[in-house]
Structure 1
Amino acid sequence: MKKKISVTIIAKNAQKTLFECLKSVERFDEVILLDNQSSDDTLKIAREFSNVKVYQSEFIGFGALKNLAISYAKNDWILSLDSDEVVEEDLLNEIENLNFELGKYYSFSRKNYFHGKWVKCCGWYPDRVKRIFNKTEIGYREKLVHEGLQTGKAKEIKLKGSVKHYTMENIDNILSKMNRYTSLSAKEMKERGKRGSAIGGIGRFVFVFVKDYFFRMGWRYGYRGFVIAWCNASGAMFKYLKLYEMEQK
């Protein structure tokens, strides 16, 4: 990769997807992997790649972790990835031919996979993410979850290429991820002074499930569509129920 751009990745117990992720960015001269106390072979896999620099940190929130990873990068231009994302060849070629400009950031679409199948329902496609930017003017919000970029007045440039995203592998993976994210969301909402309620949580479940399964075509994907719509709805419900529990304590 001729362009001066660093790839940054945060990872925790990512052995099932990390090799393919790192293989897809082998042509970049620097990849920063920030490990969040993995207990599997994540670090072993990372050290197989000569362009990967490994750092470690405890969990300090997704936004703070991503900013910490960026701070280790030697280049100002950043491609920020998750450890379950794989950059496709068309996007790599597009990045290589880009003329990066300050005042601009670059987004691309994600192809979200569930049980090995690319799923386009329930708002999963086009799932456009903002991931290429200059760290001297753009960074992540310091949030526990759903961190997002602070882009200011910079202009978004939409790239045509995509990454594969291995979103959900199985039910255990889904429930584990949902439990963690809803707990972090509830904690963050409490800190912002939001209020939770059992009725409000249940109402959100019904609204999100109907929207995703019927209006956003979840029913077209059979079992996968039902599970995705149910998970989206459950996530919307449980963060409010967990917030309600916090308030009762």
Structure 2
Amino acid sequence: MAGPRLSAVVMCFNEKRVIGRCLDALAFCDEIVVVDDCSTDGTWELLQQRADVRPFQHRHTTFAAQRQYGKDRATGDWILTMDADETVTPALARRIRETIARADAADVYEIRRINPYPRTLDGHFWTKHPRLVRAEKCRWVVTDDPHSPLDTQGLRVAILEGAHLDHEPLPDVATMLRKNINRSLIVAALDRSKGREGGLLSLLGSSLGRFFKYYVREGAWRFGADGLIFAAACGFEAFAKQAFLVERQDRPLEQMQDGGPGSYPAGTTFVSGKGEKAA
């Protein structure tokens, strides 16, 4: 393709159900680099069968290091970071190509994403994330947090207007609740490693605060009972994290993940000092 080279870098772990749609929509890129976190559901075998993908297997240590591993294997002038459950719409593909061809393009572009509730509910909310970045300025905040953000300090940041990413909805409420529990275990493990403890006020404040964030600010009230269910599930995620901090549990919290949605591979730790860091 004419103009700057664009590399898509996709992270995945046990995403055979959805990754095909993600990869098909990235045909407008000059290359697609996929970093598979040693999947066990057939994702790796699927990737090896695709001629349009450069697949790599790499065991997760930290989120930032995993992203950096993929970026280091990309050859493009621009990097588009993706998760396997996201899809670039045709309108977004055109906007990305137009944007990186501009002489006055910013260093980083935030892209809006529509997040549907589970397929069995009616509703959605919006977020935006820095996803499109010049390769020579692509780096991540060095942290153990499982959602290490792109490091935008000192860079020119803009919002990519006129298009958005689609986010694959979860199958149902049961899957959402299991994912909430697994994510809460990880965040609680990080908080516990920093000496933080849960308590009555934290249980109440975090749960109610998260519920009202989604019910009021994110507009879940507009979707009736479905919106109430979703907002309550978000409040439950905050409650679960605080409950895990209050609980007198000697076993490492990461080991309590069930291997389902939201889980990381067995052996992954997010406690500071136990994983490789991004360069």
Deviation (angstroms), 1:167: 3.9
Given candidates 244, 264, 274, the residue that maps to 1:242 is 244
Residues 60-106 of structure 1: CA deviation (Å, up to 9, x unaligned): 13222112111211224210001000000111011111226686201
- Do the aligned partners of 1:88 and 1:164 also contact (CA within 8 Å) in 2? yes
Larger deviation, residues 128-137 vs 170-179: 170-179
- Do the aligned partners of 1:112 and 1:118 also contact (CA within 8 Å) in 2? no
SS in 2 for 1:149: coil
Residue 100 to residue 60, structure 1, CA distance change in 2 (3 Å): farther
TM-score (normalised: structure 1): 0.87
- Do the aligned partners of 1:87 and 1:164 also contact (CA within 8 Å) in 2? yes
Larger deviation, residues 151-160 vs 48-57: 48-57
- For residue 123 of structure 2, what is the aligned residue in structure 1? 119
- For residue 65 of structure 1, what is the aligned residue in structure 2? 66
SS in 2 for 1:206: helix
SS in 2 for 1:14: coil
Residues 186-218 of structure 1: CA deviation (Å, up to 9, x unaligned): 122233343322441233112322342245431
CA–CA distance in structure 1, aligned partners of residues 114 and 249 of structure 2: 38
Matched, 1:38 2:42: no
- For residue 147 of structure 2, what is the aligned residue in structure 1? 146
CA–CA distance in structure 1, aligned partners of residues 33 and 65 of structure 2: 15
Deviation (angstroms), 1:31: 0.8
- Do the aligned partners of 1:102 and 1:134 also contact (CA within 8 Å) in 2? no
SS in 1 for 2:146: coil
Deviation (angstroms), 1:46: 2.3
TM-score (normalised: structure 2): 0.79
Larger deviation, residues 108-117 vs 91-100: 108-117
- For residue 186 of structure 1, what is the aligned residue in structure 2? 188
Residue 204 to residue 165, structure 1, CA distance change in 2 (3 Å): same
- For residue 128 of structure 1, what is the aligned residue in structure 2? 128
Deviation (angstroms), 1:246: 6.0
Larger deviation, residues 152-161 vs 83-92: 152-161
Q: Could you tell me which runs of 5 or more consecutive residues in structure 1 were left unpaired when the two chains were aligned.
A: none
- Segments of 4+ moved more than 4 angstroms: 100-103, 246-249
CA–CA distance in structure 2, aligned partners of residues 215 and 173 of structure 1: 24
Residue 214 to residue 29, structure 1, CA distance change in 2 (3 Å): closer
- Do the aligned partners of 1:114 and 1:169 also contact (CA within 8 Å) in 2? no
- Do the aligned partners of 1:106 and 1:159 also contact (CA within 8 Å) in 2? yes
Task: Let me know the Cα RMSD of the aligned residues.
Answer: 2.4
- For residue 202 of structure 1, what is the aligned residue in structure 2? 204
Matched, 1:80 2:81: yes
Given candidates 159, 166, 169, the residue that maps to 2:168 is 166
Residue 163 to residue 246, structure 1, CA distance change in 2 (3 Å): farther
Residue 26 to residue 234, structure 1, CA distance change in 2 (3 Å): same
SS in 1 for 2:55: strand
CA–CA distance in structure 1, aligned partners of residues 249 and 203 of structure 2: 14
SS in 2 for 1:233: helix
**Identical-residue share of aligned pairs (%):** 22
Deviation (angstroms), 1:132: 0.6
CA–CA distance in structure 2, aligned partners of residues 229 and 220 of structure 1: 11
